[in-house]
Structure formats: structure tokens, C-alpha cells
Amino acid sequence: MSKRSLNGTDFNAMVLAGADQLQKHAEHVNSLNVFPVPDGDTGTNMNLTMSAGVAELKRNSASSIGSCAGILSKGLLMGARGNSGVILSQLFRGFSRYAAPYEELNTLQFAAALQSGVDTAYKAVVKPVEGTILTVAKEAAKHAGYYARRTNDITELMSEVLKKANETLALTPEMLPVLKQVGVVDSGGKGLVYIYEGFMEYLLNTEGKTVSTPVKEATPAPVMPPAAPKTPISPEMPISAQARLETEDIEFLYDMEFFINRQLGDAGGTNFDEEDFRKALSVNGDSIIIISDDEVIKVHVHSKQPGDVLNLALRYGEITQIHILNMREQHRDLLTAGMDIAPAPELFADIPPEQEAAPEPSIPPADELAPFGFISVASGEGISEVFKSLGIDIVLSGGQTMNPSTEDFVKAIHSIDAKHVFILPNNSNIVLAAKQARDLLEGEREVTVVPSKTIPQGISAAFAFQEDESAEVNESNMLEAIAHVRSGQVTYAVRDTTFDDLEITAGHFIGIHDSKIVATEEGLLDTCEQLLRKMIVSGDEVITILAGEEAKETETDRLASWLAAEYPNAEVEVHQGGQPVYSYLFAVEA
């Protein structure tokens, strides 16, 4: 019996099955990381992103596929982590935009929704790279558009989509030489294939069939040295404890979240002007987040006058899924219970308890705001202290081992009382999530993402900041500072591989210079010396050593002594960074 359409119930179940399949294989996706380092996190990021979308679906049930897709999209958008997670959120954001007005989708419409997702994702990436998750999604959607004209069976169409996704995934090493070099397929593309497998599994099970799992590509199994276990890091924000906040100081006490269906109600298709709506909400509100498309508007606001907010919203359509919380009441309850830190009201996606932040204090009047504020991302207590000493307001815990989500950045931005906020991601896999948070708050907060891709770049950028200069001048200065610092990292290999003619053995140490593996030795100090020789050009540079949590003091002293003897004109600084996974981080500046 063929399945001619997908409704909200079907789509919900497909997403749950896809998320489950991804979760089961997240570590396999992680193992496909191009670099043989112990922090391959594509699978983790995609899994956490998908989990945020699923949590949103579980909180907000709907029967139409348009509503379900919109709910999923909002959860994914705020929960997105890493480049793969942001791209995944954009794929489903485009899907939801197409599906929004429909109760059900037939094969042609389902194919069109997939293509809409691809179009949206490509627009979100400044320089799309073929041979990645984008290519897998693109070719699968293109084939769906072709095949949908030949069948009216959703299950048959999804089977073709999965087949084409697998075929394209197998070709990714031919599109990206680095994948071919290390013998893996694209990790993000593999994560998407697992989601599609879950979709297919649900559709086949509804027909009493079983899904046949494709033969997995041969991939070297990760080898983890027992001396260096990977420890998950939870993002934390150094914000005030609840006990230090007076209940009556919560000015905008009603935390509101709702959807506006622009196709329904008495609005009669009133044109929606997001900037005007945002300005109207800000009269008696703050912490405003608006996510809109042609059919649905998602609104979050802290307000003094919830009735006024709803009356404003009714101009644009029918209001659904209304959630209103009294934050003063929450605060009093928490103080009575003796808690210092209060969980934040739900904001689009679930956050594990250890990551929850207190409700943001209301933003002071403009004349009381500081001109600038800073958010940085780092792991390791020592590195965090370095950033704080440079004037960073909030250090989000994260980096290679755990990427902060879009929502983590949104909350951090809201917690800073400044007119203009700079973000230093300090990792290439975090830049997209930071930019997505910036875009969500456009028109409400001035945010600049300085695309620092390493901790040394972030520190150099923070040094370059001048309080008396404009935002534009500071951005230029920080970008220039980033360009003049050379970054190095030392960790251990988790599998045997060959990379740029280097034979890498599992368990040996590897040195990475500005995203390229340039050194590998069995010994830690031998690797450090080999890496530093590649990084040091003139011998009179400033060399900074950030020792990780696994680094021994005796080894650090020996390394510093070697530098002093080998490069007597260099200025050497040593700090205890405390970062996990990476024994040492190096910065070399002229």
C-alpha cells in the first residue's frame, strides 16, 4: 500500500526516527574527522542540534506538516552547534518555509521542500564547499525533484533520496582531495545520511517492512590512548547568581513566547514590518527575538505588558502556542528553595541543566550602557582567566571539545549591558553559530563577530581592542591582529593515517600549525620542538606557551629552556592554560 502524502504526525515520527539513528551513530560520524585528533565533533554537534529540534517538537505538538516543520526549525536554529549543526538547521529552515502553508505534502511538494532547504543552506554559507553535507543534500534534493514526477509514493521517493545521498557521500573524497588523502567520506554528509536512514526506517515500518542498512564505508577505528580521556565540557556563563538579584529588579517580568500564523485570523494579510514590530515591543520589553518567514512568526520577549504584546501581534495573524511565565514568581520560588542559580525559561530548545543560565536582567537605559562588551569562547580555567584579564565580559566554556550553540550566544549577548557586543569564537567550527546569533538579534543589538579561529588569535584580537576607538576601527584592528599571529597546537593521534606525506601513528603526538598537520613524533617534546621550528621565522618573535591540563610542569620547563637556548632573542611567555585534549597551544608573533 503506497503512502501518497506526509502529515504532521508522519513528519514528527520521521524526525524522531532520524534523530535516533543519528544519535546511535554519532561516534562513527565523529571518527570521520579529517584530522586524526581526539576531538572530532561533527557527530556530537549534529546530534545536539537535532536533539534541540526534537525537544521543541515534543513540547509543541501539531497535526499539520507545516506547523511541525516550523517547530522543528526553531528548535534546530537555537540549538545549532558547529558548522554542521548550523547547516543542518538551515536545511530544515528552508524545508519549513516551503512546508509552512500545507497540512500534508505529496511527493512533488516534499521534493520541493527538500530543494528549498538546500537553497537556504547554501545562502547561509559565505563560501560553500562542495564535497560536504551541502553537496549530499543538494544532489539528494535534485534527484528527489526528478523522481517525484515519476511516483506518487512517499516511501518510494524517500528510498531514492537515501540512495542518492549515499551515492553522493561515496563520491565526496573525489570532490575534496583531503578526504581522499586520509581515506574517509565527509562526516557532515554521513550524519545527514543517518537522518535520512531514520526517515526511511519509519516509512518502511509503517508498511510492515524493514530498512536495509547500506554497507558502511571502511573507516579506521579510533584509537584512544588511556592516558588522555576525552572529557565533555559544559558551556558556563559567569553571570550573577540569583541570590544577588533582587526580585523587584526584574523589570520586564513576563517571559513570553508564541507563534503568529500570518495566514489566519482577522489581519487580512497585513504587511509585516519586523523593525516596526521590534520597536513597538521594546517600548515595554526587552530580550526580544523574532524569527519570521512568509507564513509564521516566532516571538520571544520579556515584557511589562503581556496584553499589549498580544494586541500588537494580532495585527499580523492568529496567535498560537502561547507561553507566559512570571519571572519574579520563579525567582521568589528559587530563593525560597535556597537555590543560587535559576534555570532559564525555555527559549526554543532544551538545554541540559548544567548549561542553563539565569533569566537575563533587563537591559538598562541606553545612557547607562557601556559602549562595548565582549564574549569569548575558551576551554581551560587558565585561558579563561587570560581572557577575563583582557576585559572579556563573558567566557563561554567551549572550543574543540564542545561548541556553544546559537542559543548560548543569544543568552550571553542579552546578559551584557553594552551597546555593541564583540564575539571572539576562537574556533573555525564556532564562527557560524556566532554569526547566526548575531543575525537573530539584528535590529535589537549591535553585534560584531570577529572570526578568530584559534585561542592565540582571540587573545591577539583582545589585545588590539581600544576602548576609545569606534566599533569599525576596533574591528579592523582586531582583524589585522589576527592576521599577524601564528597558531600551533599539540595533541595525539587517534588513528593511523597519512596526511601531507606525514605517516601518522595512532598514539603518537601531532603538531598542527594554522590548521595543517606539520609534525608528528612519538615523544611530546620532540613534537613540540618540530612544530615550533616550523612556526618561528626570525627567532626574535614573542612566543607564548599555553600548557594544557595533561602537560607536566617538568616538560613545560624543559620546553621553555629549549626555546631560550635555540632562540635567545625570542621573548618567551608561559601560562597554565588548563585546556583539555591539547597538551600545548603556541602563539608566535613578530
72 pLDDT tier (thresholds 50, 70, 90): very high
| Alpha-carbon torsion, ordered 205, 210, 213, 214, to 10 deg | -110
- Decide if pLDDT at 211 tops 60: no
Cα dihedral value 578, 350, 92, 275, nearest 10? -90
Q: Rounded to the nearest 5°, which phi and psi values hold at 453? A: -110, -5
Place of cell 613540540: 528
508-555: pLDDT as tens digits:
999 999 888 999 999 999 999 999 999 999 988 999 999 999 899 999
pLDDT at 285 (0 to 100): 80
Please tell me which of 86-95, 265-274, 323-332, 353-362 the model is most confident about, judged by mean pLDDT.
86-95
Q: What is the mean pLDDT of residues 373-399?
A: 90
pLDDT category of residue 380 using cuts at 50, 70 and 90: confident
Q: Which residues contact 305 (CB under 8 A, 6 or more apart)?
A: 284, 285
What does the block give as the cell for 220? 579506521
- Return the percent helix, strand and coil in the chain, to nearest 5: 45, 20, 35
Measured CA to CA, the distance from residue 69 to residue 293 in angstroms comes to 13
Residue 498 neighbours by CB under 8 Å, 6+ apart: 181, 182, 504
Closest to 394 measured CA to CA, from 425, 363, 436: 425
Distance CA 452, CA 461 (A): 8
What gap in Å lies between CA 216 and CA 151, rounded to an integer?
Answer: 28
Residue 197 to residue 571: CA distance in whole angstroms: 55
Average pLDDT, the chain: 83
Residue indicated by cell numbers 537522518: 195
What is the bridge-based pairing of β-strands 296-303 and 285-292? antiparallel
pLDDT for position 178: 83
**Is residue 90 very low, low, confident or very high in pLDDT (cuts 50, 70, 90)?**
very high
